Structure 1
Amino acid sequence: MKLFVGLDVSSFDIKVCFLNGEGKQLSSFTVANDLPGATQLRDEILRITSNQSVRELRIGLESTSVYSFHPSMFLHNDESIRALGGQVLVMNPKQIANFKKSYSDMDKTDEIDAFVIADYLRFGRLPMSVVKEEQYVALQQLTRARYQIVRQITQEKQRFLQYLSYKCNTFTEEVESSVFGKAMMDLFLENYSLDELSQMSLEDLANYLQSKGKNRFPDPKHVAKSIQKAVRSSYRLDKVVEDSIDAILSTSITLIRTFEKQIKELEKSIERIMKGVPQTIQTIPGIGPVFTAGIIAELGQIDRFSDETKIAKYAGLYWRKHQSGRFTADDTSLSRNGNQYLRYYLVEAANSVRRQIPEYSEYYAKKYQEVPKHQHKRALVLTARKLVRLVDALLRKNQIYTPKGA
């Protein structure tokens, strides 16, 4: 017996459709999207397959964020489903939407969507990922949370610089030190007016910076001079406006420091999980713990992918082909499909690796010179595509990186 189970998941229920190997609908029903509902679904699968020799059991559902997570993990981990050789597969909604276009006479209903998902499973072309093991799911949640907070920090720093330009419009041009260092942040929290800073003795300002910076300034007097030069050449604000800007800057500094603290806490949790995850890609020069955790979290078990081409497609590291007759377009866009997080980590890792490994540096330079437009972006994506082959080989063979010729 072949059984294909299509699930259309929403926040409150799951529409279910059972198809056999010939496409005949065996059952269609709805259960609640909760533990009792998932248990009822499991029991119905077991009832349908009882006293049957199950040759194939596939359960498919679209990736719908948190709504699909719990039922997919419940069925994936269920011992009775595993005993039947059942596979739980989470699919890209775009793939299902494109497949559904072949059913021109169908309306848009959840019951029909469940049927389409089951039928898609029946046809056997599965550009999708099997549900990951728990440790990878946990790691993915942590790395994605870190990714989002890093983006929030970037946005907050941009906002901070915007308001800093109101208070002291020449600061970032004149001051030869990071605006976001501890000493500078503490200085802004003091809410000094520009006149107070300009009148402060150079010695006192230098000592303040050295104390707050924990003696990390090689020449604190030089930095103090540049600060006073900036404040003396900047426009002055009305007192009420300057006070409001100071309040905003203080709030922004508090947010940035809170985000940075949260990132450190997340990194501790990521590090704990990574100790139990088999991987060798951190041995590649240029790939540190952040890129490693991000790549591993999105890939999961390497045997989910038959080869490195599937990983590249899953990450969206390919260009669409545009061909008609004898014409083939030269300028085509990078695919917008794929896992955006995996693509981000692979591209960022490739940018780091090319600075460390001559082979990748030369490859990047070669690809950069091949086209007149989008040179850096194209070369970097192609370098990331090359890196995929190395990542796949090291993980699949559980080998550490060995430089060529070593």
Structure 2
Amino acid sequence: MAHFNYFVGIDVGKYECLVAFSHSSKILSIPNTAIGLQELIDGLEEIKSNTLIAMEATGGYEVAFWKVLHKAGFHVRQVPPAQVRSFARSKAQIAKTDRIDAKIICRFIQENPNSGRSLPSDNVLRLNRLMAKRYQLIKVRAALKCQSRQQQEEDLEELDKAHIQFLNNQISNLNAMITTLIHENHDLEEKDRILQSIPGVGPVLSASFLAFLPELGTASDKQIACLCGIAPIARDSGKYKGKRFISGGRKQVRDVLYQAALVASWHNPKIKTFFARLKSAGKPHKVCVIAAARKLATIANAMVLQKSEWQTD
């Protein structure tokens, strides 16, 4: 594991980036352009090998910086905004400005150098964008269908139907683009084949794993459960034993994984037996589904790690 002596936090904005340094109180303001990025690279060149840079996920504005810094040989991590914000509160930092955010990101990565994720491959980034757009259109279509059922005027109902059909076509086009991208990349295709060999895992969950959970096959089972947002969080204090709840994680994965767990509880022999045992023990239905989802993610993680397809006992 690399050892770092210097840490840099970047608050990435659409037009401007604020840069904070662990070895200086100075806050550098640079434009979010190639010129501004080159200025930062030149300033850090002498300490490049001992420097760890962190930036929050900002919906895409950070990707260009991330790619160029990575190509220039810097160690760069993308860190979750929610974790950084919780870290700020733990340090009694309530105020929030771009300058403060840069300082907090810098301090966060300095105290948590193993946090965040490294830059995925271009194919994974492309798949992530395609799946994110698909997820967005699915949500819009679901909302529109719900609203359409309440329409009482025929002309508005026809408008909704036309819009829904348009969304159906867009989603179909995205599905084709996603399938093509996976099949054109050997690594993605191999993982997709392994994942879809698992009873209960279809093309949507497989693509969601590949796009939103690139850590699959490299992280521990507990880490995968946390990243999926299906790890039970303890709420105990003294003699009080609270109920466990799931929290956080990557919602795009959790939503699809929950549905897949319902299917797997009927069609995957291992999950079906596990699900039935929990049910017979009197566990609530939703608890059983979440536990099945966690087991399904664990199986997927182990199979990708071992590069082995599903074996029927």
Separation in 1, partners of 2:286, 2:38? 48
RMSD of aligned Cα (Å): 2.2
State the partner residue of 2:198: 284
State the partner residue of 1:189: none
State the partner residue of 1:111: 99
State the partner residue of 2:220: 307
State the partner residue of 2:264: 353
Which shifted more, 8-17 or 61-70?
61-70
Q: Say whether 1:388 aligns with 2:297.
A: yes
Q: Does the 8 Å contact 1:285/1:353 carry over to 2?
A: yes
Q: Say whether 1:66 aligns with 2:65.
A: no
Separation in 2, partners of 1:371, 1:32? 59
State the partner residue of 1:196: none
SS in 2 for 1:355: helix
Separation in 2, partners of 1:124, 1:7? 15
State the partner residue of 1:324: 237
SS in 1 for 2:7: strand
State the partner residue of 2:246: 334
Separation in 2, partners of 1:109, 1:248? 44
Separation in 1, partners of 2:83, 2:279? 33
Q: Does the 8 Å contact 2:209/2:216 carry over to 1?
A: no
Separation in 1, partners of 2:163, 2:212? 28
State the partner residue of 2:211: 297
Report how far residue 400 of structure 1 moved: 0.8
State the partner residue of 1:13: 16
Name the amino acid aligned to 1:358.
Answer: P
Separation in 2, partners of 1:106, 1:286? 45
Equivalence map 1:200-215=2 (5 Å): none
Listed as ranges, the gaps of 5+ residues in structure 1 are: 167-244
Report how far residue 134 of structure 1 moved: 1.3
Separation in 2, partners of 1:383, 1:104? 39
Name the amino acid aligned to 1:312.
Answer: A
Equivalence map 1:12-161=2 (5 Å): 12-19=15-22, 24-25=23-24, 28-49=27-48, 54=49, 56-76=50-70, 78=71, 80-81=72-73, 86-104=74-92, 108-124=96-112, 126-161=114-149
Report how far residue 70 of structure 1 moved: 2.4
Separation in 1, partners of 2:94, 2:245? 32
Give the total of aligned pairs: 304
TM-score (norm 2): 0.89
Instruction: Give identity over the alignment, percent.
Output: 24
Q: Does the 8 Å contact 2:109/2:115 carry over to 1?
A: no
Listed as ranges, the gaps of 5+ residues in structure 2 are: none
Larger Rg: 1
SS in 2 for 1:338: coil
Separation in 2, partners of 1:65, 1:393? 30
Q: Does the 8 Å contact 1:7/1:117 carry over to 2?
A: yes
Report how far residue 301 of structure 1 moved: 5.1
Q: Does the 8 Å contact 2:222/2:231 carry over to 1?
A: no
State the partner residue of 1:221: none
Report how far residue 34 of structure 1 moved: 2.1
From the superposition, tell whether residues 288 and 107 of structure 1 become closer, same or farther in structure 2 (CA, over 3 Å). closer
Name the amino acid aligned to 1:363.
Answer: F
Report how far residue 302 of structure 1 moved: 3.5
Report how far residue 107 of structure 1 moved: 5.1
Pick one of 261, 268, 280 that aligns with 2:169.
261
Q: Does the 8 Å contact 2:15/2:32 carry over to 1?
A: yes
Q: Say whether 1:366 aligns with 2:281.
A: no
Separation in 2, partners of 1:144, 1:105? 32
Separation in 2, partners of 1:155, 1:363? 34
Separation in 1, partners of 2:286, 2:67? 37
Name the amino acid aligned to 1:103.
Answer: K
SS in 2 for 1:17: strand
Report how far residue 268 of structure 1 moved: 1.0
From the superposition, tell whether residues 129 and 351 of structure 1 become closer, same or farther in structure 2 (CA, over 3 Å). farther
Name the amino acid aligned to 1:68.
Answer: E
Report how far residue 332 of structure 1 moved: 3.4
Report how far residue 48 of structure 1 moved: 4.0
Separation in 2, partners of 1:351, 1:75? 42
Name the amino acid aligned to 2:244.
Answer: T
Q: Structure 1 residue runs of 4+, over 4 Å off?
A: 369-372
Q: Does the 8 Å contact 1:60/1:118 carry over to 2?
A: yes
